[in-house]
Amino acid sequence: MTIMETIKINTKKQFEIIDITKKVNEYLENQELCDGLINIYTKHTTSAIIINENETGLIKDFKNTLNNLIPENKDYHHNSIDNNARSHLQSLFLSSSQTIPFKDNKLLLGTWQSIFFIELDGPRTNREIILTIIN
């Protein structure tokens, strides 16, 4: 059986890291399932879904690393279209989805693992995250 649901997120900053673990867990806990896989997918080429530790210093390091790899104010060709080449290039180093197993309707994440939605071209309204459960 496959179940799909869409979560919508509004972002407030140009670059933002949003912990969506609680939202995904709440959705999963409300299903009448037991064991399976859940895929978390962003439909946007200037956003990402990652799994990592939710620690303030690490999040700052993550942002700084992306900014150092792909700096602002470069002569990116795509900027002639809509001035967001940097966001697209940053997303190349990230992922648009993550798949996580679950058991007894609980995500099987490691102790320090959290699920993050990464906004690279905000602020935006109604960013869509597709949750697909395979049971």
**Count: domains in the chain:** 1
Residue 95, Cβ density class (10 Å: 0-12 exposed, 13-18 middle, ≥19 buried)? middle
Residues 94-128 pLDDT 10s: 999 999 999 999 999 999 999 999 999 999 999 99
Residues 10-59 pLDDT 10s: 999 999 999 999 999 999 998 888 899 999 999 999 999 999 999 999 99
User: For residue 32, what are its two tokens?
Assistant: 């009448």
Query: Residue 116: which CATH number?
Result: 2.60.120.460
Strand partners, 16: 119
Q: What's the pLDDT at 32?
A: 84
pLDDT band at 73 (very low <50, low <70, confident <90, very high): confident
User: For residue 116, what are its two tokens?
Assistant: 């993050």
Task: Note down the domain range covering 63.
Answer: 2-134
Q: pTM here?
A: 0.95
Query: Measuring CA to CA, which residue among 96, 15, 90 is closest to residue 59?
Result: 15
Q: How many other CB atoms are there within 10 angstroms of residue 13's CB atom?
A: 11
